[in-house]
Structure 1
Amino acid sequence: MIKTLITAALFAMTATTANADIIGKVDAKTLGTKVMTPEALWAMGRISASAPSPDGKWVVYQVGYYSVKENKSHHVLYIISTDGGNATLLTLSADNETDPSWIEGGKRIAFLSNNGGSSQLWSMNPDGTDRKKLTNDKLDIEGYKFSPDGSKVIFVKSLPYNDIIQPKHKDLPKASGMVIDDLNYRHWDHYVTSNAHPFVADVNARQTIGEGKDILEGEPYECPMAPFGGVEQLNWSPDSKSIAYTCRKKTGRDYAISTDSDIYLYDTTTGTTKNLCKSAGFKQPEVDATKTMATQEINSEKYADENMGYDTNPAFSPNGKYVAWQSMARDGYESDRNRLCILDLATGKKSYVTESFDSNVDDFCWNTDSRTLYYIGVWHGCVNLYKTDLNGKVVQLTDDKMDFGSVKMMKSKLLMSRHSMSQGDELYIVTPGKNIKSTAICQLTHENTDFYKQLEFGEVEPRWSKTTDGKDMLSWIILPPNFDPNKKYPTLLFCEGGPQSPVSQFWSYRWNFQIMAANGYIIVAPNRRGLPGFGQEWLEEISGDWTGQCMKDYLTAIDDACTLPYVDKDRLGCVGASFGGFSVYWLAGHHDKRFKAFISHDGAFNLESMYTDTEEAWFSNWEYDDAPWNRDMTARAKRTYDNSPHKFVDKWDTPILCIQGEMDYRINTNQGLGAFNAARMRGIPAQLLVFPDENHWVLKPQNGILWQRTFFGWLNKWLKD
């Protein structure tokens, strides 16, 4: 029987609680269809945080459920035996309860709960009984991590920050204006009026915890780093005396143009801090803020040992001799190759142990022997498991048409999340072998199995084609359910964002290939130039050449697909978001009448405007080379601006839907509005979908449903009706 979160007992329990809404699992049978729908997607449970018990016998994990009617989510915790069996729901309240971990040697589970409207730290027995509130902080606890000996805990809390945006006048409390003195005054989807800081607090014998000491006290920096960093950016040493943390110690314009974050070591006894990335006495060279860092002194061989790019997510070896972290080499390049760096704490020597793997390290963990590390990375459109020793000998351990999403050590095994284009995240137990053949994979959770059993999915097939410069390119072809090879289907070219994000076996609750296929479309999803998993040369061919070979690759992929007998070349659509949205805008002026409909979500339309619109100036500098006002701009920069999509609107001839989130500060609202306005001024059929309360993504359930309905309504109008 399908386990259901909402039961009669839960309704009875919460009936006496004012305004208590529990959003729970929906029985798949109530959907009344075998075809994937937006409602089916939003009814699925979404597994996120997980933690194995110290003895390796149990896993506690978080699941989010969404209510379209209530337009909100509810997050709960489950526990499951690693031997398999049914998961047991631990949290029965109407509160969101998240971020589980094991404490007291596995005797109790810690978690965050928003009980009372404030996020605080709680604990409970592994069976969900004896719930205790551990903190009563005046600030929300946004993340935490207990020391190995249980005597201390790191808290993440946000503090007011007014170095960039001036504080409000006390006699004008209702004034909404902001006085801004420098960059970076907003980030991703919010104005920067606070910074996250890590605090260290003692845990007393009664497991009660005070507010703790701010380890960045008086420093105007953030840790974890916005917009995506979490507690994985901080870690305890095995002896519980030190904390390694990630921080980009820059503010204002220097912050906006740089990706140079470092790993710092904080001594909890002395309160001293040491930079593990930079040499003693390091002095940063001068930089020109209006030009790419790629050709400036800061990225010269002189500073090659100073870890000038992103350095994130430190982890101590179990024996305490080493710290490992993910490391990018170059400042200003957010999509540089993520290598695995190992620092010998005794000698200060750094080594890079994934150099033979010409792609990114996406997540990693130490083996218990302190001599081996496991990591995941993308290669040829799939994210698989690898291991490396301290000498850099890399061995591939899995070779599945899936994506692993995380990896955690669990005794002699690994706890991993995994998904594909046909399945959302589930947890797996992986027993590493010496190679691919001897590695065992066992699915642990089955959160949405009942949905998958009652929904008809299409096949996902790899297809290789030759590009215009004679190279091999992988595209994923997703076929409709109940595919009939004798029929002809309308077909969509999917344009990936990033611009350097992989088209791997990802599962999305919005850009979901199975729901596109369920609506009767074939999808062509190419790994065009600029995507990881095909070597660094392939990855870097896009920077400074957004409208060159990568666009030829797109046209190669769709032209090759049109040779398939079941692809209707007279009913082609082109869709994409972010850089994919830019690609749509550019192809609209260069597609030679291939496509009958376009959809662009949060895409860049005017690159001259985009240069100063975006809040992360390092991105524009690296990708465009120069500010548009520089008289000495490079040939690549001139080519970039000359080929901006807005300069080819005179060639637009195809209906287009423009979607834009007004809280998207990476690609601002004027980009989407400008494209829509231009299309209508030209008399081209166009539609605009604007979300005043969404950022680069669409996160609210009802907005998500509206997005899907509008998306397919537009495609059906021009490719089916």
Structure 2
Amino acid sequence: MRTFEWAVLGLGVVLGADALTPEQLIAAPRRSEAVPNPSGEVALFSSSEYSWESHETSSSWNLIDLDSGKITLLTNDTNVSELIWLGSDDSGLLYINGTNADIPGGVELWVSNTASFDKLRYKAASLPASFSGLKTAITKGGDVNFVLYAQSYSNGTAYNEELASKPLSSARIYDSIYVRHWDTWLSTTFNAVFSGTLKRKKGGQGANSRYSSEDSLKNLLAGVKNLESPYPPFGGSSDYDISGDGKWVAFKSKAPELPRANNTASYIYLVPHDGSKKPVAINGPDSPGTPDGVEGDSSSPSFSPDSRRIAYFQMEDISYESDRRTLYIYTIGSEKTIPALAKNWDRSPDTVKWTADGKSLILNTEDHAHGRLFFLPADGGNDYKPCNFTSTGSVNSYYNLPNGDLLVTGSAIWTSWTVYTANPEKGVISTLISANEVDPGLQGLSSSDLDEFYFQGNWTKIHSWIIYPAGFDKSKTYPLVFYVHGGPQGSWADSWSTRWNPKVWADQGYVVIAPNPTGSTGFGDKLTDAITNNWGICWEYVRDNFDFVDTENGVAAGASYGGFMMNWIQGNPLGRKFKALVSHDGTFVADAKISTEELWFIEHDFNGTFWANRDNYRRWDPSAPERILQFDTPMLIIHSDKDYRLPVSDGLGLFNVLQERGVPSRLLNFPDENHWVTSKENSLVWHQQVLGWINKYSGVGARNPNAVSLDDTAIPVVDYNP
């Protein structure tokens, strides 16, 4: 992949690549991270694949040989919902069975072996609810201490939806703010971390060990009001960790003493695995080691190999969800101020793992539109700059191997799944497998499908991706697709997406331009915090520097903040530069922003409350009369009923205005989707409507008989116009 600084020189031609269709994108295998066994000989991963004939998803668990890259099937039992290695045994496995023979709505823990998964498996424990997020540690005596999570009642018992009594009324009553979040109305149940133990029967060693559990699970959050972990909607097993000796559990929870709608504050709590003591915040406002002025979100607790230290991230700002994450290390029992590592490093890491010797840490960090691994000594001072040792694509997960290397699972814009080895000193060593080489629907995709370039913004250089269509010929011209990302603190990264995949758009017959302007993450705090987008600069640069891009017949599209920008562009002269616009979940009426549930977001970005700083909210109002009077570009509006962060009323309002103004427009609504469209059948309709809309107005549909048409979907259009 080439990198452009100022101008494009010597563009190559993409040859022999088949167009990636929406059907291929959605149905292609979706694989999990590859998790190595203790010896590092094989790794375990899951895979799922959708069939357009049966309209069903098939799934399996597989092993990949880390020497040859050969993949073998372990099981295709759909009840195996989570599967992990069991202790130091190279072949032992522990998994959650998604059903329970005795308790409706419950699950079970089963033990098995890679030698013969079906024949050697047995039930080790019965769990009374729908638990997930299994993590384990082997105790000194050989038992298996484990943690997982489920919904909980306030009395500490696990919530089982199938066994819960149904109220006679559907009413909801609230006495505090934050009544709903993302796609769920809050109720009297909440997430909680539970602990348990599988006892090893005497006489068994290694692969011959047998485990069972008769004890009930312990709710580790019980006893402290308002704790919740993992924290929804995105929290999972990364929100908690179990120490290697099995004695301790660390977990993240929102600050229990503060209103959840107005801040991002959360703490890391420490609690004995046996639940013998209440959890205690290690970095709360009353904790002895809490650094001064650090009040924001905490995340990703990770125990050191010796079980004595906890690495975690925390932001400083209490109301800024995109503040920079800084790494801290807490020593259990210490009352000294918790030290920060590489505090002056201008990046915001996403995940952290200790090296096997406990002397260093590996950070997965967004950096210049890639997700890269960085090496950081555990004693790195404030001025230490972590060293990057991976480059292209984005890292999804990484695990220590016995030889000191790391097994990495990642993706890129041109491949949905790649597994390779890397080392802090050697960089990327070898690639074991890549989806574009083994999946028929993705074959032909490669790094030559895209490039990067930089252009001069209004105060600094700005990064952008450029994605080419199949069979790209630089002597020809292709209409522009101008991609605007969400956030605004976000980015277009070198990673695979099943929702906004730029290659699918490009292969309709476009060149996709995906800029990362001010507000984007991964380029330093200054760029992230300076939300002064000037999209016209990028459009003009593309017009003046890429002869193969047809800006006269270009289109623009964006989701979330990108949807807001489409609504803003519609009411500005830049909107007339495009033949069509696509706005997905974009806000429209400034005053309607108060209906969101995450008040910290709007109060931070608009510098105050809705009543004290209303003029600032209205400064950037796409629904202002002077904006509406400029509406003229055909527009597709997409908004779903369960998007509570950006409520559906904004989409309805925008559609009403466009229709009354006589602007060609269409509303696409999903009653069962949230901020994202994830159902595979809904995703297909989404792609058919979006691509059909832009193809109609850009002229691609008339020139390319294989392009998606608005008529490709069987969903009827409701039209009551006389």
TM range (shorter): 0.7 to 0.9
Correspondence 1:193-232 to 2 at 5 A: 193=187, 194-205=189-200, 206-209=210-213, 210-218=215-223, 219-232=225-238
Offset, 1:396: 2.5
CA distance in 1, matches of 2:43, 2:296: 35
CA distance in 2, matches of 1:68, 1:335: 39
Offset, 1:71: 4.6
Offset, 1:211: 3.3
The alpha-carbon distance between structure 1 residues 232 and 480, as it changes in their structure 2 partners (threshold 3 A), is same
Does 2:536 match 1:555? yes
CA distance in 1, matches of 2:71, 2:490: 34
AA aligned opposite 1:40: Q
The correspondence for 1:606, drawn from 557, 566, 589, is 589
Q: What does residue 427 of structure 1 align with?
A: 419
Which deviations, in whole Å up to 9, do the C-alpha atoms of 1:63-87 show, x marking residues without a partner?
Answer: 2222345555344211122213321
Q: Is the 8 A contact 1:68 1:701 kept in 2?
A: no
The correspondence for 2:145, drawn from 152, 171, 175, is 152
Q: Is the 8 A contact 2:641 2:648 kept in 1?
A: yes
Correspondence 1:225-624 to 2 at 5 A: 225-250=231-256, 254-268=259-273, 270-278=276-284, 280=286, 305=292, 307-345=294-332, 347=334, 348-389=336-377, 390-392=379-381, 393-411=384-402, 412-433=404-425, 438-450=426-438, 451=440, 454-455=443-444, 459-469=449-459, 471-542=460-531, 549-550=532-533, 552=534, 554-563=535-544, 564-592=546-574, 593-611=576-594, 613-624=595-606
AA aligned opposite 2:177: L
Q: Is the 8 A contact 1:338 1:360 kept in 2?
A: yes
Offset, 1:226: 0.7
Offset, 1:304: 5.6
5+ unaligned residues in a row in structure 1: which ranges?
1-32, 283-301, 543-548
TM-score for the superposition, normalised by structure 2: 0.85
Q: What does residue 143 of structure 1 align with?
A: 133
The alpha-carbon distance between structure 1 residues 106 and 473, as it changes in their structure 2 partners (threshold 3 A), is same
Offset, 1:607: 2.5
Does 2:68 match 1:84? yes
Does 2:195 match 1:191? no
CA distance in 2, matches of 1:304, 1:112: 39
TM-score for the superposition, normalised by structure 1: 0.85
The alpha-carbon distance between structure 1 residues 413 and 303, as it changes in their structure 2 partners (threshold 3 A), is closer
Q: Is the 8 A contact 2:29 2:48 kept in 1?
A: yes
CA distance in 2, matches of 1:541, 1:92: 49
SS in 2 for 1:388: strand
Which deviations, in whole Å up to 9, do the C-alpha atoms of 1:254-284 show, x marking residues without a partner?
Answer: 01112111111112354243211135478xx
Q: Is the 8 A contact 1:42 1:67 kept in 2?
A: no
CA distance in 2, matches of 1:454, 1:237: 42
Which deviations, in whole Å up to 9, do the C-alpha atoms of 1:335-383 show, x marking residues without a partner?
Answer: 1111211123354332222334311101121012212111121222222
SS in 2 for 1:211: coil
Offset, 1:700: 0.8
Q: Is the 8 A contact 2:303 2:311 kept in 1?
A: yes
CA distance in 1, matches of 2:353, 2:111: 26
Q: Is the 8 A contact 1:75 1:98 kept in 2?
A: no
Q: What does residue 713 of structure 2 align with?
A: none
CA distance in 1, matches of 2:77, 2:436: 22
Q: Is the 8 A contact 2:19 2:469 kept in 1?
A: no
The alpha-carbon distance between structure 1 residues 665 and 279, as it changes in their structure 2 partners (threshold 3 A), is closer
The alpha-carbon distance between structure 1 residues 428 and 456, as it changes in their structure 2 partners (threshold 3 A), is closer
Aligned-residue identity in percent: 27
Does 2:99 match 1:122? no
SS in 1 for 2:259: helix
CA distance in 1, matches of 2:682, 2:325: 34
CA distance in 1, matches of 2:302, 2:41: 23
Offset, 1:111: 2.1
The alpha-carbon distance between structure 1 residues 189 and 161, as it changes in their structure 2 partners (threshold 3 A), is farther
SS in 2 for 1:147: strand
The alpha-carbon distance between structure 1 residues 46 and 199, as it changes in their structure 2 partners (threshold 3 A), is same
CA distance in 2, matches of 1:615, 1:220: 18
Offset, 1:151: 3.3
Q: What does residue 4 of structure 2 align with?
A: none
Offset, 1:318: 1.3
The alpha-carbon distance between structure 1 residues 345 and 566, as it changes in their structure 2 partners (threshold 3 A), is same
Which deviations, in whole Å up to 9, do the C-alpha atoms of 1:269-316 show, x marking residues without a partner?
Answer: 54243211135478xxxxxxxxxxxxxxxxxxx996263111111111
AA aligned opposite 1:601: H
AA aligned opposite 1:236: I
AA aligned opposite 2:192: H
CA distance in 1, matches of 2:470, 2:341: 43
CA distance in 1, matches of 2:512, 2:679: 26
Q: Is the 8 A contact 2:396 2:411 kept in 1?
A: yes
Q: What does residue 105 of structure 1 align with?
A: 89
Q: What does residue 695 of structure 1 align with?
A: 674
The alpha-carbon distance between structure 1 residues 692 and 329, as it changes in their structure 2 partners (threshold 3 A), is same
Q: Is the 8 A contact 1:278 1:306 kept in 2?
A: no
The alpha-carbon distance between structure 1 residues 101 and 674, as it changes in their structure 2 partners (threshold 3 A), is farther
5+ unaligned residues in a row in structure 2: which ranges?
1-16, 201-209, 703-722
Q: Which moved more, 1:94-103 or 1:580-589?
A: 94-103
Q: Is the 8 A contact 1:72 1:700 kept in 2?
A: no
AA aligned opposite 2:239: Q
SS in 2 for 1:715: helix
Offset, 1:703: 0.4
Q: Is the 8 A contact 2:558 2:583 kept in 1?
A: yes
AA aligned opposite 2:517: R
Offset, 1:46: 1.2
The alpha-carbon distance between structure 1 residues 58 and 172, as it changes in their structure 2 partners (threshold 3 A), is closer
The alpha-carbon distance between structure 1 residues 680 and 304, as it changes in their structure 2 partners (threshold 3 A), is farther
CA distance in 1, matches of 2:197, 2:536: 60
Q: Is the 8 A contact 1:45 1:448 kept in 2?
A: no
Offset, 1:174: 4.7
AA aligned opposite 1:155: L
Does 2:637 match 1:644? no
AA aligned opposite 1:180: Y
CA distance in 1, matches of 2:516, 2:476: 26
AA aligned opposite 2:582: I
Q: Is the 8 A contact 2:87 2:137 kept in 1?
A: no
Q: Is the 8 A contact 1:387 1:394 kept in 2?
A: no
Which deviations, in whole Å up to 9, do the C-alpha atoms of 1:504-562 show, x marking residues without a partner?
Answer: 202111211111111001111111101112211111012xxxxxx21x1x221111111
